[in-house]
């Protein structure tokens, strides 16, 4: 998982096994950010449509913007005004594409997770340095 700013620059990177759901990993990613100030908004895909996650992020003063799942049982919690910001999600996809230019991140060759995490951080640093 990658946390980026509004311009597409990576702020934090987190790796995890494939078994935990993404909703449980979002808060640990926010704790690893490089900036002392927390983001005001978090734009995510439909996998993060979880009312408990929205409540936990609201306690941190972060507004979660993601479309509701099609099989949602409860009433919608967002209106269309907030979802207009979801159109900016292409910046996230572009940043992931920048990170996938590094072959070691596309296919994990390292046996140890801390080595792979180091390569993720190095790739994020290289992407940031290319932008300046």
- Can you tell me the distance from the alpha carbon of 18 to that of 87, in angstroms, rounded to the nearest whole number? 27
Assigned CATH topology for domain 2-131: Nucleotidyltransferase; domain 5 (3.30.420)
Q: Quick one: pLDDT at residue 51?
A: 84
Residue 8 backbone class (left: φ over 0; alpha: ψ -120 to 50; beta: rest): left
Percent over 90 (pLDDT), the chain: 33
Statement: residue 79 has pLDDT above 70? no
Q: Look at strands 63-65 and 41-43 and give their pairing.
A: parallel
66: nearest Cα among 26, 17, 29, 100: 26
Crossing angle for the helix pair 22-31 and 51-59, to the nearest 10 degrees = 10
With bands split at pLDDT 50, 70 and 90, how would you rate the model's confidence at 76?
Answer: low
Q: What value does the mean pLDDT of the chain take?
A: 86
- Can you tell me the distance from the alpha carbon of 128 to that of 7, in angstroms, rounded to the nearest whole number? 11
Q: Quick one: pLDDT at residue 48?
A: 80
Statement: residue 102 has pLDDT above 90? yes
Tens-place pLDDT, residues 3-17: 999 888 998 888 888
Statement: residue 71 has pLDDT above 80? no
For 45-130, strand residue ranges (E) read: 63-65
């Amino acid at each position: 998982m990658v946390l980026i700013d509004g311009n597409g620059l990576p702020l934090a990177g987190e790796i995890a096994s494939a078994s935990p759901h993404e909703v449980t990993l979002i808060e640990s990613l926010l704790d690893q950010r490089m900036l002392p100030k927390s983001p005001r908004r978090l734009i995510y895909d439909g996998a993060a449509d979880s009312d408990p996650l929205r409540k936990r992020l609201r306690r941190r003063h972060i507004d979660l913007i993601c479309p509701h799942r099609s099989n949602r049982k409860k009433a919608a919690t967002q209106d269309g005004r907030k979802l207009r910001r979801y159109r900016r999600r292409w910046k996230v996809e572009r940043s992931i594409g920048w990170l996938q230019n590094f072959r070691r991140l596309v296919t994990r060759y390292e046996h140890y997770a801390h080595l792979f995490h180091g390569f993720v951080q190095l790739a994020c640093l290289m992407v940031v340095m290319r932008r300046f």
